[in-house]
Amino acid sequence: MNKAILPLVRKGKEDMEFPFSWEDDSLQHACYINYGYWNHRNYMVLDVLGYFFLLKEGGNVLPERTPPIFDDLDSIETREKELNQQSRLVQQAQPITTEDISIIQRQKYWVKFDDSDFRRFTSLKINSNEILKLLLDTSRVEFKLVYPVRLRDDKDRFKENSYIMNFFSRLFEFGYINKEVRSDGIVRSREYYIVFNTILGELFVNNMKTHNFDLINNSLYNLPYSAQILYRRLLVHNDLTQQDINLETIKEKLNLEDENVTNLRNTIELNALEPLKQYGFITDYRRTEGLNGVKYSIWKPPKTFESNNKLLQKSTVIIG
């Protein structure tokens, strides 16, 4: 998801015209956001939902790699056309009934959690209404993407393929029940039921099942917006301990519009690289300027293997 989705935030007071488009890196094919904005908090929601789903699949530990949902690109296209004909499962702006819950639990890919679970895995102090708004905002955004999906190759190995979506899709649907309501009507606690019953949701689950994710410490969510986006879009997807990245590439990946090079450098260094270094996501960085413009050399600590129990004790989460 970090590679596929471009961050899109409101610029000033004016609403943006939709659909918003950009080109993906792999095929230079047009991608679209049809409705809604997308920022670091929306990426975070997907981290948490992916983590909850894997814990459910593995019985409260991270499971071994399991068979993917899709066999090949043709099977994805067939499923996409099938799902495009289906109606919405739940109405997401109001509480659901016990009958709705039963329908969700009969779906293949679903998960439930409550506000305390969400706060525990993000380490954020947010109330129930804020969590509900995050889920609503994330679930309402519609995408048509070139999606990097993991499929088996002819040597029974998992390989990343690019699937070009034909229709707009949301990531998931969800319902909730009010668990604790004050006498004045304020809801203090909710329980949420998430169902991945869209093509984008099933592609997301497919990659979770094939272990196409990284484990990180949730201190990432306390970093500034630019730091979180830079880490997601440019640093997390490989095992390289050093990367050389042009300023223009960083500007493009973070969807920055400032044409002033000095302001851009300040944003990248003060709001992104310094916080990442302070929290240990990178070990150091250096800026150089040459004939081809400004370039940053960024060093990361090497990835190390840890057991599931240690990962759970560290409250790590998943980047899809």
Residues contacting residue 254 through CB under 8 Å, at least 6 positions apart: 7, 226, 229, 230, 233, 268, 272
Q: What pLDDT, on the 0 to 100 scale, is given for residue 206?
A: 96
CA angle (299, 316, 6) in 5-degree steps = 65
Q: Dihedrals φ, ψ of 23, to 5°?
A: -105, 140
In this predicted model, what pLDDT tens digit does every residue of 54-69 receive, in sequence order?
Answer: 999 988 888 888 889 9
Residues contacting residue 119 through CB under 8 Å, at least 6 positions apart: 125, 126, 131
Listing DSSP states for 295-315 in one string gives EEEEE-PPP----HHHHHHTT
In this predicted model, what pLDDT tens digit does every residue of 152-167 receive, in sequence order?
Answer: 887 778 899 999 999 9
- Please provide the CATH number assigned to the domain covering 218-303: 1.10.10
In this predicted model, what pLDDT tens digit does every residue of 183-219 receive, in sequence order?
Answer: 988 899 999 999 999 999 999 999 999 988 888 889 9
Determine how many CB atoms are found less than 10 A away from the CB of residue 37.
17
Instruction: Please say whether the beta carbons of 258 and 267 come within 8 A.
Output: yes
Instruction: Please say whether the beta carbons of 177 and 95 come within 8 A.
Output: yes
Residues contacting residue 76 through CB under 8 Å, at least 6 positions apart: 70, 149, 163, 199, 203
Q: What's CA 42's distance to the chain center, in Å?
A: 7
pTM equals 0.92
Domain-wise residue ranges, the chain: 1-212, 218-303
